[in-house]
Amino acid sequence: MSTETQHDLDIDRSVGDFSYDVEYAYDAGVGLTEATIDYISDVKGDPDWVRAFRKEGYRKFLEKPMPTNWATKDLDNIVFENIRYYLAQGQQPKRSWDEVPDEVKETFERLGIPEQERKFLAGVEAQFDSEAAYSNIKAAVGEQGVIFVGSTEGLKEHPEIFKKWFGKVIPSGDNKFSALNSAVFSGGSFIYVPPGVKVKHPLQAYFRINAQNFGQFERTLIIADEGAEVMYMEGCTAPKFETSTLHSAVVELVALKGAKIQYVTVQNWSSNVFNLVTKRGIAHEDAEIKWIDCNIGSRLTMKYPGVVMKGNGARGEVVSIALAGDGQHQDTGAKMIHAADNTTSNIISKSISLGTGRSTYRGMVHVPKHLKGCKNNTECDALLINSSSRTDTYPAITVRGQGNAVQHEASVSQISAEQIFYMQQRGLSEGAAMSLAVNGFVNDLVQQFPMEYSVELKRLIDLEMEGSVG
């Protein structure tokens, strides 16, 4: 099989390629100054401590350098002065479907959130631009005492719950982009699951960007109290724009004693989006945090979900799939910080690079002094489709002291010509054979996604592989 036959992979993203004129009720203008932050705080009616938090974030954002000493120089192409930092459809998250404007409904229709799925799922928190445009919490979840609200509402209505952890898992000065998010955040979900409550249905939110040069800075905080269990799903697709957009979210998870949190992401931003996300969770005694992450879209994604295993017997896991098509760079990975005895972590990452796409794995595993019985397992597999594709692996592993076991393995391979030949012999086209082989490569990970996501994921991979041959 000649590799040259596949060099002109074109990614068909036209499915998400639409936008509607929307009249934005609030617009903070272009660029970022202290006045922008005051404006956002005024519009949102922030309590004083939130305003102070934003300003502190802004100060740190200015202070912090771009991480270009280790990250891609493409970051320098972000022009912070050209970005809109706040834009909202309305002030209050919409509660009932009837209240949602028709145009917005049409957008959701095109996004493919079927009515049945909405009924099937426990709650839908659909974000339209930076403010939640539609929020539906099923009665059953509410009755269990679960709080599922937007970040603005959470900080205003439930400060006693959220203030304790807000900005504690990821301090605003963690990095330049978490500082930026702290300054201008809006939207995102705040979830609290009371002790012992196991949320049966996944909580779900769809995010969407729908304005030119518009950055989205949502902030999500999920707290699972002792023995609670919750799964949260986040998926995004965005229309194509002329100029680059910036998406810089902060997601904090807190799993108290014996709690379990699963956070599922399918990221399919359009190929002009910079997606620079900070995600981290704290797992207390016997708690478990699992990040299931799939990155298909965006121009550049930098995202390294982390788990700080703070309590004895805590567990962290990252399952990651990345697909980098022409012109895309998926710079993803995981951070596992072992901070107590008998903590275990597992990282499984699979990436596919096609055309001129580049996928990068960056990992950090840290086992500090005097800990016993800590285990980490890391596996990274990369698949290269074309001769112009690129893949990198940069793990950093620190182990102090004995009594712990850490192992890291990575491999790079390609679809074997024999496999393709075999399938073509049996009547499959070369494209179909490639698609099947790629799906086979990630199949064991795809199965870890909730059913409706794994279906969507397979469809997305097929879509990406379409036209990859000939």
Partner 1 sequence: MSTPASLIESSPVQGNWPDWFHNDQKTAWDLFHTLPAPARTDEPWRFANLKATDLTPFHAAGSVRDVASLVSRSTGGGVLSAKLVFGNDVLLHAESAGLPAGVLLLPLDQAARDHAELIRAHFMTAEPRLGSRKFAALHRAKLRTGAFVFVPKGVTVEKPIEIWHWVEGENATILPHTLIVLEEGASATVIDRFASSVDEPSLAIAVNDLTLGQGAKLTYSGVQEWSDKTTAFHINATEVANDATSTALQMNLGGGYVRGESDSHLLGEGSRSVMLSINPATGDREIDQRTFQDHYAPRATSDLLYHNALSDTSRTIFAGLIKVEEKAHETDAYQKVRNLMLSDEAEANSMPGLEILADNVRCTHGATSGELNEDELFYMMARGIPPKQAAQLIVRGFLGSVLARLEHTELQSHLGEILDRKLGI
Instruction: Give the footprint of partner 1 on this chain (CB under 8 A).
Output: 3, 69-70, 367, 369-370, 382, 384-387, 389-414
Least distance to partner 1, CB of residue 381, Å: 10
Least distance to partner 1, CB of residue 76, Å: 16
Residue-by-residue DSSP string for 74-91: GGGG--GGG-B--EES-S
Least distance to partner 1, CB of residue 382, Å: 7
Nearer to partner 1, 2 or 425 (CB): 2
Nearer to partner 1, 164 or 400 (CB): 400
Chain centre to alpha carbon of residue 306 = 12
Whether 185 contacts 219, CB under 8 Å: yes
Least distance to partner 1, CB of residue 322, Å: 14
Least distance to partner 1, CB of residue 368, Å: 9
Whether 306 contacts 331, CB under 8 Å: no
Residue tagged 């209050």 (tokens):
92
Least distance to partner 1, CB of residue 395, Å: 6
Nearer to partner 1, 45 or 403 (CB): 403
Phi, psi (degrees; rounded to nearest 5) at 337: -110, 110
Nearer to partner 1, 270 or 391 (CB): 391
Q: How far is CA 73 from each of CA 165, 287, 352, 409, 412, rounded to the nearest angstrom?
A: 33, 38, 22, 27, 24
Nearer to partner 1, 25 or 405 (CB): 405
Cα 410 from Cα 424, distance rounded (Å): 30
Residue tagged 């359009």 (tokens):
270
Residue tagged 């479907």 (tokens):
97
Nearer to partner 1, 43 or 323 (CB): 323
Nearer to partner 1, 8 or 34 (CB): 8
Reported as type and span, the H/E element at residue 457 is helix 451-465
Residues 26-60 as b or e (16 or more Cβ within 10 Å = b): bbbeeebeeebbebbbebbebeeebbebbbbbbbb
Cα 302 from Cα 360, distance rounded (Å): 9
Among candidate residues 147, 257, 137, the one with its CA nearest the CA of residue 191: 147
Least distance to partner 1, CB of residue 169, Å: 24
Q: Could you tell me whether strands 250-255 and 229-237 are parallel, antiparallel, or unpaired per DSSP bridges?
A: unpaired
Least distance to partner 1, CB of residue 63, Å: 14
Nearer to partner 1, 63 or 99 (CB): 63
